[in-house]
């Protein structure tokens, strides 16, 4: 329905967050509670004990879902993932309706399982 409000938080908690939690992602601050909300810092521990981070939410210009993924390198620095290298260009994260957002979030959930978590867990040399 044109003009209806797109409920990003509701859609993320219904579609994407359960799959991320199953992959070991957790909200960084306990006071954030068990459900994702915009602005929440998300982290995960890699197989060798390295920190992994995730920030996600509405793009500041609207109608695009933003995702930033990082992992700590052995030297303590962080490497940020360019999603385009995984075939996820920024334009593929745009939506105009809640139904389109649901499709974007489903694709992102698949990408986390198939590509992003393997990138996070891959051994790197910093």
Percentage of residues in the chain with pLDDT exceeding 70? 95
Number of Cβ within 10 Å of residue 110's Cβ equals 12
Burial 41-51 (b: 16+ CB within 10 A, else e): ebebebeeebe
Instruction: State the pLDDT at residue 124.
Output: 72
For residue 76, give the DSSP letter. Answer: S
The predicted-structure confidence for 83-124, as pLDDT tens digits, reads as follows: 999 999 989 999 999 999 999 999 999 999 999 999 999 987
Mean pLDDT of 17-27: 96
| Contact (Cβ atoms closer than 8 angstroms) between residue 41 and residue 55 | yes
Number of Cβ within 10 Å of residue 83's Cβ equals 21
Each domain of the chain, given as residue ranges in start order, spans 17-121
Q: How confident is the model at residue 1 (pLDDT cuts 50, 70, 90)?
A: very low
How far is CA 30 from each of CA 19, 22, 33, 41, 104, rounded to the nearest angstrom? 19, 17, 6, 11, 27
Assess whether pLDDT exceeds 70 at residue 125.
no
| Contact (Cβ atoms closer than 8 angstroms) between residue 61 and residue 84 | no
Question: Across-strand partners of 67?
Answer: 56
Q: How confident is the model at residue 126 (pLDDT cuts 50, 70, 90)?
A: low
How far is CA 75 from each of CA 43, 79, 125, rounded to the nearest angstrom? 19, 11, 8
The predicted-structure confidence for 27-63, as pLDDT tens digits, reads as follows: 988 777 789 998 899 999 999 899 999 999 998 777 8
């Amino acid at each position: 329905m044109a003009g209806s409000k797109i409920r990003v938080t509701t859609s993320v908690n219904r579609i994407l967050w359960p799959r991320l939690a199953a992959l070991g992602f957790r909200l960084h601050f306990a006071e954030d509670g068990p459900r994702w909300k915009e602005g929440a810092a998300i982290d995960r521990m890699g197989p060798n004990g390295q920190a992994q981070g995730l920030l996600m939410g509405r793009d500041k210009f609207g109608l695009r879902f933003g995702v930033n993924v990082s992992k700590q390198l052995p030297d303590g620095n962080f490497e940020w993932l360019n999603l385009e290298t995984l075939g996820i260009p920024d334009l593929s994260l745009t939506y105009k309706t809640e139904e389109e957002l649901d499709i974007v979030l489903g694709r992102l959930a698949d990408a986390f399982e198939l590509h992003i978590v393997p990138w996070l867990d891959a051994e790197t040399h910093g």
